[in-house]
Amino acid sequence: MQIGNVTTPFGRRPMTLSLVKRQIEASEIKPGKTADKWKVFRDASEARELLGLQDRSLAVLDALLSFYPDNELRQNAQLIVFPSNAQLTLRAHGIAGATLRRHLALLVEAGLIVRKDSANGKRYARKDKAGAIDSAFGFDLSPLLMRVDELAMMAQQVVADRFALRRAKENLTICRRDVRKLISAAIEEGASGNWESIEAIYIGLVGRIPRSPTLSDVNLILDEMELLQQEIINILEMQENDENIGTNGDHGEQHIQNSNTESCYEFEPSSRNEQGGKAVDDDRPKREPVRNFPLGMVMRACPQIAMYGPGGTIGSWREMMGAAVVARSMLGVSPSAYQDACDVMGPENAATAIACILERAGHINSPGGYLRDLTRKAARGEFSLGPMLMALLSAAGDNGRKAG
């Protein structure tokens, strides 16, 4: 690399190491590399939010590109444009001088252009005797050519994220509608169940939808809304099964309870088809393990488990299961009780159960006995983690609203 490839800004503009890096990279573009300048502009426009740019920044970039005479950016060409501020203002649709300077700075900061200032800060070109440009001072467009592939990938990611967001919003709208109508039908037709609590959870979920949600916002709420929908269906299916086999006994006797703890988790028993992974001592066939819940949802419902993770955080199911082992010991749950839970529920769900017990440890006299009771009920198909998580999520939402 030649020393002349790195220049510093004129006047009070500071020099940074990132500017040095960009100038060095721009001088090392692969020989023969070319790109259509307007395609690069479209990719940069698509990725503007990732680049930290605004619409007016793009108008200024469009104006700069219009001063480059060819449609194709080439590695072996002179890629410096040198319009005056007055010329730029005109082509940028009359943008004010201060606004123009601010957006030029944003383009430099985003790494799309590099300033190559003259001794006095003026923009101009020197020509040789043949009339060809020998050297120029102004704005170097080389970074656009250098980053053409990166910008294309960024644009594709933005398009994919936009599609995923639209699809997630559609799924949330459908799920939200289904839950609302299922709750209304259950209340209107007098189905057994604590529908007031379920409706309160539904209202809380809807209230958490931001005005301009991100993909992660929508996916988080969609996970919880789908969980609530599944639990409603479980309740209704359980009642239908009981009616079909003529065992319409007192549903209160089927609630998940423990003599040593307050039963604060369950709305109604889960469907017999959603349960742990082993048959108990009878002739029933072995069943598939219950589905795992999203880790983000578990962490929101049970934030205390995070302190037992590495560095006080949990970022994966492996870390979650390790934290559960530590919390299990602290709660006084025996290794055999926890192993039984893992065998019946699966290791992820057993870790989730420990996290839920930890969250309600002050209300549970014997965590080990409580876990064994849950494991037995899960093996019989009488327990699901879903309502427990939903109750904790609801409590977390209520506490957040009170704190606010």
Q: What is the pLDDT of residues 187-209, one digit of tens each?
A: 998 888 788 888 888 888 898 89
For residue 335, the tally of other CB atoms under 10 A from its CB is: 10
Structure tokens belonging to residue 92: 């940028």
pLDDT value of residue 350: 93
Contact present, 379 and 280 (Cβ < 8 Å): yes
- At residue 51, the pLDDT reads 92
For 366, the 3-state DSSP assignment is coil
Which residues, 6 or more positions from 319, have their beta carbon under 8 angstroms from its beta carbon?
A: 309, 310, 313
pLDDT single digits (tens) 105-138: 899 889 899 888 777 778 877 877 776 776 788 8
Whole-number Å distance between alpha carbons of 388 and 266: 6
Contact (CB, 8 A) for 358 and 236: no
Query: Tokens for 186?
Result: 């259950």
114-119: long-range contacts (C-beta < 8 A, 24 or more apart)?
114/19, 114/22, 114/23, 114/26, 114/139, 114/140, 114/142, 114/143, 115/7, 115/9, 115/10, 115/13, 115/139, 115/140, 116/7, 116/80, 116/140, 117/7, 117/8, 117/9, 117/10, 118/10, 119/10
Percentage of the chain lying above the pLDDT 90 cut: 42
The mean pLDDT value of the chain amounts to 80
Burial class (CB in 10 A: 0-12, 13-18, 19+), 380: middle
* pLDDT bucket at 57, cuts 50 / 70 / 90: very high
Q: Which CATH class is domain 17-153?
A: mainly alpha
Q: Between 347-359 and 335-345, two packed helices, what is the crossing angle to 10 degrees?
A: 120
Choice between 240 and 35, residue whose per-residue pLDDT is larger: 35
User: How far does CA 130 lie from the centroid of its chain?
Assistant: 58
Give the tokens for residue 228: 């609530």
Token couple for 404? 């606010």
d(CA 317, CA 326): 14
H or E element, residue 137: strand 133-140
Query: Secondary structure of 77-112 in the HEC alphabet?
Result: CCCEECCCHHHHHHHCCCCCHHHHHHHHHHHHHCCC
Q: What is the pLDDT of residue 251?
A: 41
Q: Which residue has the tokens 């099964």?
A: 241
pTM to 2 decimal places: 0.59
CA distance 52 to 58: 11
In which band, very low, low, confident or very high, does the pLDDT at 332 lie, cut at 50, 70 and 90? very high
Q: Can you give the pLDDT at residue 276?
A: 37
φ, ψ of residue 367 in degrees (nearest 5): -55, -40
Mean pLDDT over 252-281 rounds to 39
| Per-residue pLDDT at 41 | 96
Query: How many Å apart are CA 134 and CA 152, to the nearest integer?
Result: 32
Tell me the C-alpha distance between 301 and 324, whole Å.
15
CA nearest to 387, candidates 277, 290, 283: 290
Degrees, nearest 5: CA angle 202-207-210: 130
Residue 273 pLDDT: 39
Whether 345 and 375 have beta carbons less than 8 Å apart is answered as yes
Ramachandran angles phi, psi of 116, nearest 5°: -125, 95
Report how far residue 225's alpha carbon sits from residue 13's, in angstroms, rounded to the nearest whole number. Answer: 52
Q: What is the mean pLDDT of residues 358-384?
A: 89
Q: How many CB atoms lie within 10 A of CB 295?
A: 17
Q: Which residues contact 364 (CB under 8 A, 6 or more apart)?
A: 258, 260, 261, 357, 370
